Amino acid sequence: MKQARKPNSVPLCSIRFYLLCGVLSVGFVSLMARAVYLQIDKSESLNQQADSRSLRTKGITTYRGDILDRNGVELASSVPVKSVWMDITEVYKKSPLLTEQGWNQLAVVAQKTPKQFKQWIAKRKKRQFVWVARHLDPQMASLVAGLGLPGVFLQDESRRYYPSAEITAHLVGFTNVDDKGQEGLEKSYDEWLTGKPGAEKVVMDLQRRVIEQRNVITEAKTGQELQLSIDSRIQAIAYKALKTAVLKHKAKAGALVMIDIETSEVLALVSQPSYNPNRFDLRLPELTRNRAFTDSFEPGSTAKPFTVASALEAGVVNSATKINTAPGRIKIGRKVIPDGKNHGLLDVAGILQKSSNVGVTKLAMMMQDRDFLKSFYSVGFGVGTASGFPGESPGIFNIRPNWSQVEKATLAYGYGFTVTPIQLAQAYAILGSHGIKRPLSLVKLEQSPNGERVLDEGVASEVVSMMETVVNEGGTGQKASVKGYRIAGKTGTARKAIAGGYGDEYTVFFAGIAPVSNPKVAMVVFVDEPGSEDYYGGQVAAPVFAKVASDTLRLLNVKPDQNVVSNKKMAKSKTQGASNG
């Protein structure tokens, strides 16, 4: 047999082997050299190019400070929301015709039309950024995100929310869509409440989603908290009582102010008609105006206690002095000033109790002008309260150098000048504090501020005692009485001025202090143009005072200072107050 042939072996060191190794080695060395070049020599340049495409400065959302009542109850807070914006240039590049079905859905969410989107694209050279929809709820924001439309993005924002809605609307106010205060204390304390947004470096993908957070450039600072002086419980009581009265008497408007006499903090402040600040469509000028601060009216008979105070301080009368008001009218110049009826001989307390125009006119005529006007100026008529509330009116108290006797007489019973409800409430708080005037405060105070004596202590106390007869049997304000408590107050009914004189419409007031033995609160109830058959202050405003004062005194645990028997007797009284009260 023939032996099998052995196969030829491949040489280990052939030329092709060396050539292959050489090519691979050169390629490897080249790659390494290129890598070193890119990683070392060109790293900075490449990083800059990468960062220019993906690294962005992103704002850090901050929130506006909360607004609280004096007990820490939340009145305004900021909640996170999403807003939709559009990069018009990117939309034009990727979807110029807006043919996708999602655009119709986006138009429905944004309450716009596809035609508006196309108009934005047509004007792309003028602007690149445009808001599509602001402050969407989470459900709508999720829907927009799911559409996946090119050039449409979501952005984190915050929106103001007001839990108590219309109850505190006029005092707290509201912000606009950009979270800037527009009305009320939101506007007054806008800088205090506004936070400072931060900034950070982030890496974004092609869909502008954050995939990496690099570093914080500026820390975000939340706005500072604001604690108000009002008690939300009392505020709710006042709101309900005033709204009920305005509706019952078919009135045009109304306002109520309550002040803590010991500190001059505002415990409640409401205005009617009101609105819901959470709804942009209800923020109408005729609804958002805070009438307690911005509207001024002739106070009518609620000014009479200050005429009496001036007379007592001037020493022209004392509490026992008798004034003859018969026959129920008095002629000053060509003007006849009437009372509702002939009250005859009255002491100074009786003048207030019966709300006698003749009586206060005679008191005014007994005084020099300077002495007569002293208490009016002392309590702050004609100047603002310095509360800081936006748009506050100072009222009108301009006395001509050579004013007539008729002007002097009418001023004595509350005509010829105007005050705001907040001014009148502060004036009565001064009477309740025995002549001490303290700065009015809309924010909670840690301690009672130092006050200034503007009325004699004895005179102020004496006037308050006289005003108590107004609420008792025979007075014009019996409906302001509160079971278990001694109440002092004054009714006011004034015709509204029109061109050439006075019309047939009225403004009515009740201003009061409770309780008399140790005054805690001063309150003014104002109703503008009551349209019912009852249109006197004692009929319209006094019951509101009684309801709010009763609930408030019990809520504040103020000890009753009047026995129940005398109150029952007062409740059974059928004596009607003077018709001009």
Instruction: Say what percent of the chain tops pLDDT 70.
Output: 89
Q: Please give the full DSSP string across 397-434, using - where no structure is assigned.
A: ----TT--HHHHHHHHTT-S-BB-HHHHHHHHHHHHTT
DSSP 196: B
For 58-227, which CATH superfamily applies? Penicillin-binding protein 2a (Domain 2) (3.90.1310.10)
Could you tell me where the beta strands, DSSP code E, fall in 441-487?
A: 452-453
216 vs 478, residue with greater confidence: 478
- pLDDT for residue 564 is more than 80: no
**Residue 71: other Cβ atoms inside 10 A:** 11
Estimate to the nearest angstrom the gap between the alpha carbon of 175 and the chain centroid: 11
What is the rounded end-to-end Cα distance, in angstroms, of the chain?
Answer: 150
| Residues 80 and 135 sit within 8 Å (Cβ to Cβ) | no
| Highest mean pLDDT of the ranges 96-100, 213-217, 357-361 | 357-361
- pLDDT for residue 567 is more than 60: no
Among residues 78, 95, 164, 301, which one is catalytic? 301
- Joined together, the tokens standing for residue 180 give 């800037």
Rg over alpha carbons for the chain, rounded to the nearest Å, is: 38
- pLDDT for residue 572 is more than 90: no
Q: How confident is the model at residue 209 (pLDDT cuts 50, 70, 90)?
A: low
Burial state string for 246-260 with b = 16 or more CB within 10 A and e = fewer than 16: beebebbbbbbbbbb
- Joined together, the tokens standing for residue 324 give 């003859």
Residue 199 buriedness (CB in 10 A; 0-12 / 13-18 / 19+): middle
301 is catalytic: yes
CATH topology of domain 232-275+289-572: Beta-lactamase (3.40.710)
pLDDT tens across 467-477, in order?
Answer: 999 999 999 99
| Residue found under tokens 């060396």 | 18
The pTM of this model reads 0.84
- pLDDT for residue 87 is more than 70: yes
Question: If you average pLDDT over residues 262-273, what whole number do you get?
Answer: 97
- Joined together, the tokens standing for residue 476 give 């014009």
2 vs 350, residue with greater confidence: 350
Question: Hey, where are the domains in the chain?
Answer: 58-227, 232-275+289-572
Q: Give the angle subtended at the CA of 345 by the CAs of 341 and 350, to the nearest 5°.
A: 80
Give bridge partners of residue 160 from the DSSP assignment.
Answer: 78
pLDDT of residue 499: 83
Phi, psi torsion values for 171, nearest 5 degrees: -85, -50
SS3 labels along 199-230 = EEEEEECCCCCEEEEEEEEECCECCCCEEECC
Estimate to the nearest angstrom the gap between the alpha carbon of 224 and the chain centroid: 17
- Joined together, the tokens standing for residue 53 give 């495409």
The whole-angstrom separation of Cα 387 and Cα 571 is 38
Query: What is the H or E stretch that residue 360 is in?
Result: helix 357-365
Q: Give the angle subtended at the CA of 377 by the CAs of 371 and 383, to the nearest 5°.
A: 160
- pLDDT for residue 10 is more than 60: no
**Residue 113: other Cβ atoms inside 10 A:** 12
Residue 459 buriedness (CB in 10 A; 0-12 / 13-18 / 19+): buried
pLDDT tens across 412-452, in order?
Answer: 999 999 999 999 999 999 999 999 999 999 999 999 899 99
- pLDDT for residue 580 is more than 70: no
